[in-house]
């Protein structure tokens, strides 16, 4: 599969150009107020700029120093904005790709359902923008579906590559869990009537565009908590720097406002403050690259801590439509005779199962349907009778549910009972076939497991996630499917309220639950789960209830979702550790520079042997700005996740980002000091 929502490169030229402009637009204090650390940095940058202008006009020798400090402070603010703009720009580029799927589509709106046209109704050509919720439209082969809706009549093959990137068409039909269609997709064959369920501007594609652009991204609880921590640290260091001024006067040292501001900016957590938004946006961006649309940042974070996954069986673990797998004759009937009877009895069955039975009879037994005359009576399949068939002169053929057919049979052969039991134990669905009340054999309908799903569930197990399959099947059938799929547990004969009760019970025990589903009956569970992943092929109700939509309809996509969730948390934690550890080196650089005149003994703390107080302060400010630039790729790409224990992750985090945050600033500040001294900039 080639993802339609293409992920641009990390440093795409167009994104860089757009982000460079947006970095200046984001200087608007009303926009920066959402980020208290960078907002404070902008305010003090403006103050230092005012001092620079004053010194410059007064021909004060300090103008050169204050001008450099002001320039690097603005550089810090701009690159913090740039990091966020790059992350947002990647989403905007993906949104532009989605917009190309929209056009001024024309629709055939039903205006008279009793008309005399070929589709039993009269239709009016209108623009898709004129459609309202509740309108019914006709979509024929070659037409674009004009809006999100539910199929109310007909069956068609639909190309959804504009949404999913998958070229293989899917079947959409009235009733069941395959009735939802998305505006902008194309009908390839046949026709369908679609009832519009979303007004223009509120369609699935419109919501996707808003989400990938980040327009509706809300801060997650973890992100809010970290923002509060950073704001608290900013206030603490602001108080510290303000109180240093009178303390310095008491000790006989005069500190300039520019120097105090430089100290403040170096001490507050500008590194993580400048990258926090970019980390959150990039986490959702990484999901999009795996063809998953997250409608909630909270869900992305929760995915990192999920320990139980519930999966609806039909359409999630399995393909959903049961397919004919074999014919088993009984009572001395030959396979060829049974295949001929099955074909005749299934010609009026337009369900997916009925079509698969006809296909198997024709493909495997080379049976052809005869030409029927007026003396033949077709008995169409009915959900009420659960039987279909045909009445020929002297022959009455019936095919359907075992209990419905057996109830009309004259006798039940032992081999028939054995065949039914064998198919049921294998997880299949047996259908009986009879002629004039005599049982001829059994059809094995099999719910096909999605390929490679067992290995994927094993990978989830290795990540510490328990998989539970939920199905309405009987326990015997459920056990067979669960064994074949490789899930850890299953819940059989489950009703929607049973799924909901299970999730609530597990959540009360402190577990974080993920739910994958595609049907309307899964909607309550998807809404209750901490991470609700709805399949794109599912119903509108399921897609709206979940907080993620998997465009590939792959239930094991949770592996990627969990990895991205853990990666988001690890990236945020790692860079926070690095940012706070950075301050240690800055203490050794700036504090001696501030008070070495009054207290010569503090020169012992100048372990980096920086050239001068001015050079020390300028070096710390420059390093503080450049480290944000250096960490932008890591914030966007994310810290690599490895499936190891929490203790091992903590040790690795402290070793790399804690120790690295201590050592790198010493090296960086000293290197910058050497350059400044060589160029005589301070």
Is 388 annotated as contributing to ligand binding? yes
Among 135, 177, 285, 312, the one annotated catalytic: 312
For the chain, the straight-line distance linking the first and the last C-alpha, in angstroms and rounded, comes to 57
Report phi then psi at 399, rounded to 5.
Answer: -140, 135
For 133, 164, 199, 503, the CA distances from 112, given in Å and listed in that order, are: 17, 34, 21, 46
318 among the known binding-site residues? no
Nearest CA to 643 among 567, 533, 556, 558? Answer: 567
C-alpha dihedral over 391, 393, 394, 398, to 10 degrees? -10
353 annotated ligand binder: yes
Q: What are phi and psi of 618, to 5 degrees?
A: -65, -40
DSSP letters, 239-255, are HHHHHHHHHHHHTT-PP
Is 158 annotated as a binding-site member? no
Is there a contact between 94 and 212 (Cβ–Cβ < 8 Å)? yes
384 is in an annotated binding site: yes
Instruction: Reply yes or no on whether 312 is catalytic.
Output: yes
403 is in an annotated binding site: no
Asked whether residue 399 is marked as a ligand-binding residue, the answer is: yes
In whole angstroms, what is the distance from residue 377 CA to residue 418 CA? 32
Residue 385 assigned ligand-binding role: yes
Pairing of strands 513-517, 531-535: parallel
476 marked as binding residue: no
DSSP for 525-593? HHHHSSEEEEETTS-HHHHHHSSEEETT--GGGHHHHHHHHHHHHHHHHHHHHHHHHHHHHHHHHHHHH
Distance CA 584, CA 586 (A): 5
**Alpha carbons within 13 A on the beta-carbon side of 226:** 26
Kindly report the backbone phi and psi dihedral angles of residue 236, in degrees, each rounded to the nearest multiple of 5, phi listed first.
Answer: -60, -50
CA distance 597 to 592: 9
Any binding-site annotation on 466?
A: no
| Phi–psi pair at 534, nearest 5 degrees | -95, 140
HSE-CB of 328 using CA atoms within 13 angstroms:
19
495 is in an annotated binding site: no
CA–CA distance, 522 with 502 (Å, rounded to integer): 13
The annotation status of 386 as a binding-site residue, yes or no, is yes
Does 566 carry a binding-site annotation?
Answer: no
Do 462 and 642 contact (CB within 8 A), yes or no? Answer: no
Annotated binding site: 349, 353, 381-388, 399, 518, 522
Annotated binding site for ATP: 349, 353, 381-388, 399
Annotated binding site for Mg(2+): 518, 522
List active site positions. Answer: 312
């Amino acid at each position: 599969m080639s993802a339609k929502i293409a992920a641009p490169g990390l440093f795409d030229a167009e994104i860089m150009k757009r982000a460079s402009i947006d970095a200046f637009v984001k200087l608007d204090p009303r926009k920066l107020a959402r980020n208290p650390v960078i907002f404070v940095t902008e305010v003090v940058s403006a103050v230092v700029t005012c001092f620079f202008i004053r010194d410059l006009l007064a021909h004060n020798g300090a103008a050169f120093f204050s001008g450099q400090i002001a320039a690097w402070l603005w550089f810090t603010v701009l690159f913090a904005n740039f990091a966020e703009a790059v992350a947002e720009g990647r989403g905007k580029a993906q949104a532009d790709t989605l917009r190309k799927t929209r056009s001024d589509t024309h629709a055939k709106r039903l205006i008279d359902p009793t008309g005399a046209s070929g589709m039993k109704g009269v239709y009016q050509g209108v623009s898709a923008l004129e459609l309202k919720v509740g309108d019914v439209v006709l979509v024929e082969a070659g037409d674009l579906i004009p809006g999100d809706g539910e199929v109310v009549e007909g069956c068609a093959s639909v190309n959804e590559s504009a949404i999913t990137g998958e070229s293989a068409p899917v079947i959409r039909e009235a009733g069941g869990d395959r009735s939802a269609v998305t505006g902008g997709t194309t009908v390839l064959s046949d026709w369908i009537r679609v009832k519009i369920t979303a007004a223009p501007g509120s369609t699935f594609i419109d919501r996707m565009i808003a989400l990938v652009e980040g327009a509706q991204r809300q801060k997650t609880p973890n992100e809010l908590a970290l923002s509060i921590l950073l704001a608290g640290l900013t206030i603490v260091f602001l108080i510290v720097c303000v109180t240093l001024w009178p303390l310095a006067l008491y000790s006989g040292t005069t500190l300039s406002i520019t120097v105090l501001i430089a100290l403040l900016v170096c001490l507050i957590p500008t590194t993580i403050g400048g990258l926090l938004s970019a980390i959150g946006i990039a986490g959702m961006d990484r999901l999009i690259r795996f063809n998953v649309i997250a409608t909630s940042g909270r869900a992305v974070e929760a995915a990192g801590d999920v320990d139980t996954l519930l999966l609806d069986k039909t359409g999630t673990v399995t393909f959903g439509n049961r397919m004919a797998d074999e014919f088993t004759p009984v009572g001395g009937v030959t396979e060829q005779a049974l295949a001929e009877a099955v074909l005749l009895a299934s010609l009026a069955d337009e369900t997916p199962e009925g079509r698969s039975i006809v296909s198997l009879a024709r493909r495997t037994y080379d049976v052809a349907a005869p030409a029927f005359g007026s003396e033949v009576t077709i008995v169409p399949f009915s959900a009420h009778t659960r039987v279909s068939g045909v009445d020929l002169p002297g022959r009455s053929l019936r095919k359907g549910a075992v209990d419905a057919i057996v109830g009309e049979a004259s006798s039940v052969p032992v081999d028939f009972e054995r065949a039914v039991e064998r198919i049921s134990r294998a997880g299949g669905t047996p259908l009986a076939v009879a002629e004039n009340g005599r049982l001829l054999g059994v059809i094995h309908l099999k719910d096909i497991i999605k390929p490679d799903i067992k290995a994927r569930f094993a990978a989830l197990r290795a990540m510490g996630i328990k998989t539970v399959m939920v199905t309405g099947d009987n326990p015997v059938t459920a056990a067979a499917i669960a064994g074949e799929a490789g899930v850890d547990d299953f819940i059989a004969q489950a009703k929607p309220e049973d799924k909901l009760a299970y999730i609530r019970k597990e959540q009360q025990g402190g577990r974080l639950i993920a739910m994958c589903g595609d049907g309307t009956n899964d909607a309550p569970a998807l809404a209750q789960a901490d991470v609700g992943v709805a399949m794109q092929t599912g119903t509108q109700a399921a897609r709206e209830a979940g907080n993620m939509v998997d465009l590939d309809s792959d239930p094991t996509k949770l592996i990627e979702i969990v990895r991205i969730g853990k990666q988001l948390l690890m990236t945020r934690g790692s860079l926070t550790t690095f940012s706070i550890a950075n301050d240690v080196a800055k203490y050794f650089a700036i504090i001696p520079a501030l008070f070495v005149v009054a207290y010569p003994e503090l020169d012992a703390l100048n372990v980096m042997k920086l050239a001068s107080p001015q050079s020390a302060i300028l070096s710390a400010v420059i390093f503080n700005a450049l480290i944000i630039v250096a960490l932008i790729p890591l914030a966007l790409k994310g810290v690599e996740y490895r499936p190891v224990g929490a203790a091992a992750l903590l040790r690795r985090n402290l070793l790399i980002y804690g120790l690295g945050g201590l050592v790198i600033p010493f090296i960086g500040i000293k290197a910058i000091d050497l350059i400044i001294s060589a160029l005589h900039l301070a």
